Amino acid sequence: MSARPLALSSRIPQGFAHAGLLWPSLGVILVFMVAPIAIMLTYSFLVPGAYGGVEWTFSTAAYEQILFERDFLDDSLTFTPDYLIIVARSLIQATVATLLCLVISVPTAYYIATRSDRVKNIWLFLITIPYWVNLLIRTIALLFVLRDDGPINSALLDVGVIGQPLALSYNGFAISLGLIYSFLPFMVLPLYSAFERFDFRLLEAAYDLYASRRVAFFRIVLPVMRPGLIAGSLLVFIPSVGSYLAPDILGGGKTLMIGNLIGTQFQAARNWPFGAALSMILLTITLIVLLWLARRAAQQQRSN
Amino acid sequence: MKKPAVVTALLASTVSTPASAAGDLFIYTWGEYTPPEMVEKFEKTYGVKVHIDTYDSMETMLAKLKSGAGGYDIIVPGHDTMTILIGEKLLEPINVAAMPNYQHVDEMWRDVFWDKGRLYSAPWAWGSTGLAVDRDIVKGDDTSLKILFEPDDAVKGKINMLRDVNDVINMALRYLGKPRCNDNPEDLKAVLDLLSTQKQFVKSYNSETKELLVSGEAAVSMSWNGYAMRARDERPSIEYIYPNEGYTGWMDNVAVPKGAPDIENAKLWINFVMDPENAAMITNYARYANGIKGSEAFVDKALAGAPELSPPESAPAPEFLTACTPAVTKLYDRVWTKLLR
């Protein structure tokens, strides 16, 4: 049995075999990623059809609309902060969610990684349990928990701590909580695997060499943890920026995030090119974050 | 009529009964709108297997049809959307007026402006978009939109608005006494001011009106009449109000989208829907009037005199609006974005 792989690799020319293995994934990327993005990019430079759809006339109006609007009264082109405010809100909400996930996940992941194998598996299993249920249903469940007549408010009212239900739902707080709740495991798991790989003897060695706790953390722990931190932060930040359900359900539709704004453009507003342009902006934001992190990682590598 | 996405998603799978099919019928409609017993009866009668998909807004349906995703035999568009669908040539002309059961259609719903002479569609159900209030909190018998736009302290923070650009702006325009489908910048600025001031008292912009009213989270909510009646079943203090400033009337129609896979089965369904006994099932289930003469005999006694189905003498007539022009839609979207930014 052990001779088989060897025989196989000696029969097929290496380079050719490896390139061939790439085709399935390349095919998937071409069909499901490159093509949709190309369509989106094309649509973003067209004119909206009267009742949805697009007309095949080139226009950059969709991109202008993000920053400028025709005035209600005199039709002059003026700067409008409306869409920037929505984009900024999305970025802030996502950043807050990422930071809070980080704060919660570091001790959690550390705790799990330092248990015995059996206990570790139980904890990891528990973390994945909520993911057996669809995100939509989990978000609605969270709304039921936060509502005026939900368990939290009912309990506090019964005990007499509060006289009026706390405003836990339909606001920014509920949106943040929803984002954290939705994406927390995406932070815990990469951090866990980073901690698990961490060789705690390195830390002992550092202390033996008179490193302070601070120095030991920044020089020993952080560099080892960095890939996990970056992966976890990206996995939380990216879906949070484009989040649709949390603002829609937990925020009560009172404030838009960029995901909701895009949704509106394809439906009620019937402005597909603008929706496509906003999607391109969202994609660009994601790319910028990714590139920035990649550059930082490369710099770090060099300085080490 | 609009239905919340959530309920729709959860219930989407409840209606599909396997039968020894002489074909299939694919229906694309609002959630919680098609009586299961009606589907069962149709399947038994014609040996056709019925499949139901649901949407939560006209925009969703229109976007799906426009993007070319077909495969449906039946859609149930609102009357204002009918105008768009006919204009965009997205419907099959099936001459509903020539069908045997057309004789049962109430004269009032025959030569309607959205489908002159009923070439494309049959009536499904009709209703209104007014206000539902919790009379335990909103005392008195005021039927003014003031309850909604200049709320008393008891109501502040307990207001729900439909998540629908047109319905919300139309209601604000009525309160201000301005025409609907309005492209006058001054009027729209006034609308934005009114809605922005009101927003601080609004709990949510949400189409789950029944849920919010029953749980007591909303004391005042924009609502469809049938949905308000279902809320009243669970919370008797809920009252449906026909605002004295006016309110929107709508009719949903059964039509066949262009390129339907099985037009013959679609026609069978449309004729079936116009039968009084079957139409009554719609009213009993969805709590909306149906537009078919003789169906009253089969409608549940409890529904017959319900205030949600028969407006009081003093109420104004419902206003059946046409779809606004693309220019107006664009302006409305800007008001909406500024309101929710």
| Residues B148 and B224 placed together within one structural domain of the fold | yes
CA distance B94 to B118: 9
Among candidate residues A289, A238, A290, A90, the one with its CA nearest the CA of residue A176 = A90
pLDDT digits (tens, 9 = 90+) for A114-133: 899 999 999 999 998 988 89
pLDDT confidence band for A75 (50 / 70 / 90):
low
Query: How many domains, chain B?
Result: 2
pLDDT confidence band for B310 (50 / 70 / 90):
confident
Q: HEC states along chain B? A: CCCCHHHHHHHCCCCCCCCCCCCEEEEEEECCCCCHHHHHHHHHHHCCEEEEEEECCHHHHHHHHHCCCCCCCEECCEHHHHHHHHHCCCECCCCHHHCHHHHHECHHHCCECCECCCCCEEEEEEEEEEEEEECCCCCCCCCCCHHHHCCCCCCCCCEEECCCHHHHHHHHHHHHCCCCCCCCHHHHHHHHHHHHHHHCCEEEECCCHHHHHHCCCCCEEEEEHHHHHHHHHHCCCEEEECCCCCCEEEEEEEECECCCCCHHHHHHHHHHHCCHHHHHHHHHHHCCECCECCHHHHCCHHHHCCCCCCCCCCCCCCEECCCCCHHHHHHHHHHHHHHHC
**Is B162 a member of any domain?**
yes
**Is B120 a member of any domain?**
yes
User: Residue B325: pLDDT above 80?
Assistant: yes
CA distance B162 to A243: 21
Contact call for B6 and A249, based on CB within 8 A = yes
The alpha carbon of residue A210 is apart from the nearest alpha carbon of chain B, in Å, by 54
**Is B104 a member of any domain?**
yes
| Residues B149 and B172 placed together within one structural domain of the fold | yes
| Residues B238 and B276 placed together within one structural domain of the fold | no
pLDDT of res. A53: 82
| Residues B155 and B242 placed together within one structural domain of the fold | yes
User: Residue B20: pLDDT above 50?
Assistant: no
Strand, helix or coil at A54?
Answer: strand
Low-confidence winner among A210-224, B195-209, B286-300 (lowest mean pLDDT): A210-224
| Residues B144 and B196 placed together within one structural domain of the fold | yes
pLDDT of res. A300: 75
pLDDT of res. B9: 42
| Residues B31 and B103 placed together within one structural domain of the fold | yes
Let me know if B293 is exposed, middle or buried by CB neighbors in 10 A (0-12, 13-18, 19+): middle
Question: Which chain B residues have a beta carbon less than 8 Å from that of A39?
Answer: none
| Residues B172 and B46 placed together within one structural domain of the fold | no
The alpha carbon of residue A239 is apart from the nearest alpha carbon of chain B, in Å, by 20
User: Residue B266: pLDDT above 80?
Assistant: yes
Q: Which amino acid type is present at position B288? A: Y
Q: Which chain A residue is nearest to residue B195, measuring alpha carbons? A: A254
The alpha carbon of residue B312 is apart from the nearest alpha carbon of chain A, in Å, by 33
Q: Count CA atoms within 13 Å of residue A279 on its CB side.
A: 22
- Across B12-32, average pLDDT: 66
pLDDT of res. B6: 44
Do the beta carbons of residue A177 and residue A250 sit within 8 Å?
Answer: yes
pLDDT confidence band for B15 (50 / 70 / 90):
very low
**Is B227 a member of any domain?**
yes
Q: Which two tokens stand for residue A183?
A: 């994406």
| Residues B122 and B261 placed together within one structural domain of the fold | yes
- Chain position carrying tokens 């509060």: A162
**Is B309 a member of any domain?**
no
Do the beta carbons of residue A266 and residue A53 sit within 8 Å?
Answer: no
Do the beta carbons of residue A153 and residue A147 sit within 8 Å?
Answer: yes
Note the helical H segments in A147-271.
151-159, 172-197, 200-208, 213-216, 222-241, 245, 258-266
| CA distances, A182 to each of A262, B98, B275 (Å) | 21, 54, 48
pLDDT confidence band for A72 (50 / 70 / 90):
low
Q: Which amino acid type is present at position B319? A: E
User: Residue A187: pLDDT above 50?
Assistant: yes
| Residues B257 and B287 placed together within one structural domain of the fold | yes
Domains identified in chain A and CATH numbers: 88-257 (1.10.3720.10)
| Residues B193 and B319 placed together within one structural domain of the fold | yes
Domain around B243: 128-248+315-340
pLDDT confidence band for B12 (50 / 70 / 90):
very low
Contact call for A86 and B164, based on CB within 8 A = no
**Is B296 a member of any domain?**
yes
Contact call for B63 and A255, based on CB within 8 A = no
User: Residue A3: pLDDT above 70?
Assistant: no
| Residues B36 and B78 placed together within one structural domain of the fold | yes
Write the DSSP symbol of residue A207.
Answer: H
pLDDT digits (tens, 9 = 90+) for B164-212: 899 999 999 999 999 999 999 999 999 999 999 999 999 999 888 998 9
Among candidate residues A101, A107, A108, the one with its CA nearest the CA of residue A127 = A108
**Is B59 a member of any domain?**
yes
Question: Which chain A residues have a beta carbon less than 8 Å from that of B331?
Answer: 72
- pTM surpassing 0.80? yes
Do the beta carbons of residue B105 and residue B291 sit within 8 Å?
Answer: yes
Among candidate residues A2, A22, A62, the one with its CA nearest the CA of residue A275 = A62
Report the range out of A56-60, B21-25, B203-207, B253-257 with the highest average pLDDT.
B253-257
CATH number at residue B283: 3.40.190.10
Nearest by CB: B62 against A51, A136, A255:
A51
φ, ψ dihedrals at B30, nearest 5°: -65, 155
Report the range out of A3-7, B3-7, B53-57, B186-190 with the highest average pLDDT.
B186-190
| Residues B231 and B319 placed together within one structural domain of the fold | yes
